[in-house]
Each structure stands twice: as structure tokens, then as C-alpha cells.
Structure 1
């Protein structure tokens, strides 16, 4: 019975933290806000999670554990390069839309501890990029795509998907968008980004 209670309390904390991080961001969130949202006192929150960073790390680990297998499956699949680009962009934008606080956290972690971050995400292995590199070379020889640097292609995909979320406050301000209009624009990005990238490498 006690164990069930502990798990329920921890789950309440994680759900509350997701909501607070989503609305206030990592920097704006306070442990007191999370405790209030979870319906517990701050001492109880600290009993489960010593700091805001530790709490966020666990949430990030859950997100990565859910999303990374999807990404790896896309790159390891037998689909064409064009289909992989399209699927990756849609899945990636969907994930960031659900957890918009994650890109900033990733950027901070990469800048602070790049090796530790990669180990946290991939364990002792490096990202399996060999298959997509060989596929790019094959489709170049077949005349399907232009000669393309795999790293540049990946950077283009990531940056075009992530930037609107990282710069959302400025974009909304300059464009005079409310949240609904911003979300509509993000839905359009799911078509615009893969089309832009595919058109740039299509022969």
C-alpha cells in the first residue's frame, strides 16, 4: 500500500512539473509552483526531488526514452530519403509542440556538458548514422538527389524544425500572433519544412 502511495505522489509531482515547465519554462518555474500544482508541500517535493534540475532531468529522460526510438526507427527504416525527411520533420515538430521546454534544456546541456549529455541520451553508443549516410551516397549515384553533406542535411532539418519554438515569443510579437495563430503556423511547418529540404536536394 505504501509503495502505491509513493508512486502516486511521484507521478503527481511529474505531471505537475510538466505543466509548470510547459507554461513557465525551465527558468521561470519554481519548486513552490510545482508543489502547489501537485497539491503537496515543498518539503515533500524536496523529499522526492532534491532540485528543479533533477526533476527536469527525469522528465527529459522520459521524453527522450519515448521519442528517440521513433527517430532511430525512421533513420533505420527502408524508406526513401525523401520519406525519411518528411516523417522526421513531422514527428520532431509534434514532439517539440508537446514539450516546448525541451529544446532550451538540450541547448543548455550541450553547451555545459556535451559528452555527458550524449551519454545520457545514447548511453555508451554513438548515434547510428551509418545507414542514412550510405543511403544518401546510393541515392546520389542513382541520380535521385544532389551531392549532399549528411551533417549539413541533418543541421538543416533540426534547425528548421526547432527555431520557431526557441524564438516563439519574438515571432509572436513581430507577427502579432496569439497562441492559436502560432499553433496554426506550426501545423503548416510540418509541410513547409520537408518540402523546402527535399526541394533543395532533389535532382
Structure 2
């Protein structure tokens, strides 16, 4: 692929992220994405024949950026508590730049199981084996309570994901404007870690 083609494709993907974030998958139009990218619709279709294919490309790109970061955090030589802090910080920072991603995963799981099953069967997921064993070791040492390691892993993901998936509801409940809610999300980087650590620490 020539450099100019690569640049055009990157511009399209970035423009698609912008429109998908504003309109969602259902509300986004290919013409809007083409306009955002500064190209005509015919050129957009040259690179991506349909909105679904473009959305899948955006999803794959974003997932492949996130997965290695999470894998690195879970399998580093850091202490357990440092890993929990690093996970919350990296995940929330990443999703704040790709807010469509958690909602898209849930939508695709429900609406396009064929694609998600195929993708997930091929994708390299973060492997939490070392992290789960580390929790077991800390339990044996007596530094943390006797907890189910998988529950800790689920807590880390769910507490980080839901504020994005449920953003419209939570923003309404907390009576927060967009700037205030963004500040709450940033604050959650330390809030989640502190809450989880305190919940398992003896």
C-alpha cells in the first residue's frame, strides 16, 4: 500500500470514530463520514464497501490497540495493587479516546453474533493467568482477603466499562454536564483502584 493510500485510510478511520461517537452505528451515515474525512463518498466506498465493514475496521483497530496494553498490565512484574491502579488508569484513558467501543461491543454481541464470534475466535485477548495466580499468592501470604480472583477481574472491567456504556443515564442521574462528567471519569481512575484495593486488603 502506498503511503498516500495509507494516509487516506487512516483519515477515514479517524473520521469514522468521530461520527460513530456522535451518532452511533445506527445514526451514522457514510456521507457524513466522507464529509468529515474531506473525501467524496465514492472514494470512501473504494476503501470500505459498507458502513458495517468500516465499523468493524474501526472496532478491530481500537481493540488491537487496547488489548496489548491490558495484557502488559496484567502480566507485568508490578505488585498486585499497582496492577489494579495501572489497569484503571490505562483502560479509562483509552476508552475516553474511543468512547464508542464498549457500547459497540455490546451492540455487536447482540446484533451481529457471527462477526463477534469470528473476531473473538481469532483475536489475541489479554491473558489474565498470571494476574489470577498473583491474587492467589497474595491470599496465601495473608496480604489480602480470601476472595475469588475472577471476581476481582470482573470488578476491574465492569467498574471501568459501565460509566461509558451507561453515560447518558449516569450523566442525568448525577446532574452533570459533559465537562463535569468527563471530570468524574478522570477521577474514576483513582477511585476504582482505591475502592478495589480497600475491598480486598486485610
TM-score normalised by length of structure 1: 0.90
Q: For the residues of structure 2 that align with 1:117 and 1:200, how far apart are their CA atoms?
A: 35
Q: CA deviation at 1:127?
A: 4.4
| Correspondence for 1:117 among 109, 116, 119 | 119
Q: For the residues of structure 2 that align with 1:188 and 1:53, how far apart are their CA atoms?
A: 34
Give the SS at the match of 2:144: coil
Q: 1:173 to 1:128 in 2, by over 3 A?
A: closer
1:171 aligns with 2:151: no
Q: CA deviation at 1:53?
A: 1.8
Alignment gaps of 5+ in structure 2: none
1:104 aligns with 2:106: no
**Residue in 2 that maps onto 1:84:** 83
**Residue in 1 that maps onto 2:138:** 139
Alignment gaps of 5+ in structure 1: none
Equivalent pairs, count? 199
Answer whether contact 1:110 1:117 (CA < 8 A) is retained.
no
Q: For the residues of structure 2 that align with 1:116 and 1:149, how far apart are their CA atoms?
A: 30
Q: Deviations over 1:12-46 (max 9, x none)?
A: 21221121122222222111110111122222211
Q: Deviations over 1:56-101 (max 9, x none)?
A: 2222222222221111111111111111111001101111111000
